[in-house]
Amino acid sequence: MNICTDVNGVRRTRTFSLSSSPLLWEIQGQITLTIKRLPGGLVTNWMHDSLEEGDVIGLTEAFGDFQIPQPAKPVLYIAGGSGITPILSQLETMAAENYRASVALLYFVRTQDDVIAREALTALAARWPALSLTIIATHEGEAPRYLKDSDLTPVTGLKVREVYLCGPKGLMDLANDLLSQRGVKEQQIHSTFFAPPAQAQLNSDQLGGEVTFTTSNLKVGSEGDANLLEIAEAAGLKPQHGCRMGICHQCSCRKTSGTVVNRLTGKVSGPGEETVQLCVSVPQGPVALNV
């Protein structure tokens, strides 16, 4: 979700993951956000230093592609550093609802001291036998120790698992490569980004198409790898947006038909109705949007 707050008189919006289950809201009217102080981070440092009990901040609705599979399917989570936060929320929900499939978590941290929510994770693994928890420190040996193929070997039935990735770009790239070598299909892999990853290489010859902005009653042509936000703005429209990098989801809107390519992942959407992020979606043929 996005948090909006005034820091030194200037309105700032930042994206953070909910780390608590929605059940905590239903039972206690509370949510938890796990926010790490970032070196030089304007908003994270302000929150640690200045935010006080009773202060009011703005929150948007929750968004994103991380959804617990329904009906239950086996799941593999691969998290790095603070990428554990959205996964914590899902694990708490699954454990409370006694999720009926096996769940594996590979959690990469620089050192064992960097584990976020160790107590919560250990307690989850203790009371919920479906969860197998593996914590791997990358910087405690002589050489860095990153994700490797053998880390996936103990994960049974890998090919039928839904996989959720959240962490630094290097880890996400490695995981994508190793998973595809082991036959996990692109559609089974869900990623959420904390920082903008390198953009996927797109073949711009196959991109572009007529874009219909249905709410504005406007049709425009597009060519190459211009994204929907750029196309809308070039047509004089002003869709809501924030980061322009695929992180904040403020530009999300409903596509009613047509196919788009995600610039971050290279994935091609289905042809039907769905929510897309304008700033990272490039039309591939005619597209209609509720803008």
Identity of the residue, 21 or 250, whose beta carbon is nearer to ligand FES in the bound complex: 250
Identity of the residue, 13 or 45, whose beta carbon is nearer to ligand FES in the bound complex: 13
What residues contact 33, with CB distance under 8 A and at least 6 apart? Answer: 3, 16, 17, 18, 19, 85
Q: What is the largest CA-CA distance in the chain?
A: 62
Give the binding range for ligand FES (CB under 6 A) out of 81-89, 163-171, 217-225, 248-256.
Answer: 248-256
What residues contact 135, with CB distance under 8 A and at least 6 apart? Answer: 107, 109, 112, 115, 121
Identity of the residue, 147 or 228, whose beta carbon is nearer to ligand FES in the bound complex: 228
Residues comprising the chain, all counted: 291
Give the binding range for ligand FES (CB under 6 A) out of 5-13, 163-171, 209-217, 246-254.
Answer: 246-254
Question: Judging by DSSP bridges, how do beta strands 103-109 and 131-137 pair with one another?
Answer: parallel
User: What gap in Å lies between CA 57 and CA 205, rounded to an integer?
Assistant: 45
> How is residue 235 annotated by DSSP?
T
User: What gap in Å lies between CA 12 and CA 25, rounded to an integer?
Assistant: 25
Q: Which of 14, 161, 190, 241 binds ligand FES (CB under 6 A)?
A: 241
Q: Which of 242, 271, 285, 286 binds ligand FES (CB under 6 A)?
A: 242
Scanning residues 254 to 283, which ones bind ligand FES (CB under 6 A)?
Answer: 277, 279
Secondary structure of residue 143 in the 3-state scheme: coil
What residues contact 138, with CB distance under 8 A and at least 6 apart? Answer: 108, 109, 110, 144, 145, 146
Identity of the residue, 249 or 255, whose beta carbon is nearer to ligand FES in the bound complex: 249
Question: Judging by DSSP bridges, how do beta strands 2-7 and 103-109 pair with one another?
Answer: unpaired
Q: Which of 110, 244, 254, 267 binds ligand FES (CB under 6 A)?
A: 244
Q: Which of 24, 78, 166, 251 binds ligand FES (CB under 6 A)?
A: 251
Give the binding range for ligand FES (CB under 6 A) out of 6-14, 96-104, 193-201, 245-253.
Answer: 245-253
Q: Which of 167, 246, 258, 283 binds ligand FES (CB under 6 A)?
A: 246
Identity of the residue, 105 or 251, whose beta carbon is nearer to ligand FES in the bound complex: 251
Identity of the residue, 22 or 242, whose beta carbon is nearer to ligand FES in the bound complex: 242
Which pair of structure tokens corresponds to residue 91?
């694990």
Identify which of 230, 251, 232, 231 has the alpha carbon closest to the alpha carbon of residue 241: 251
Give the binding range for ligand FES (CB under 6 A) out of 25-33, 146-154, 203-211, 241-249.
Answer: 241-249
To the nearest whole angstrom, how small is the minimum distance from the Cβ of residue 239 to ligand FES?
A: 9
User: What gap in Å lies between CA 218 and CA 213, rounded to an integer?
Assistant: 5
Q: Which of 189, 248, 264, 291 binds ligand FES (CB under 6 A)?
A: 248
Which residue type is seen at 30? Q
To the nearest whole angstrom, how small is the minimum distance from the Cβ of residue 75 to ligand FES?
A: 25
Scanning residues 158 to 177, which ones bind ligand FES (CB under 6 A)?
Answer: none
To the nearest whole angstrom, how small is the minimum distance from the Cβ of residue 252 to ligand FES?
A: 7
Interface ranges with ligand FES (CB under 6 A): 241-244, 246-251, 277, 279
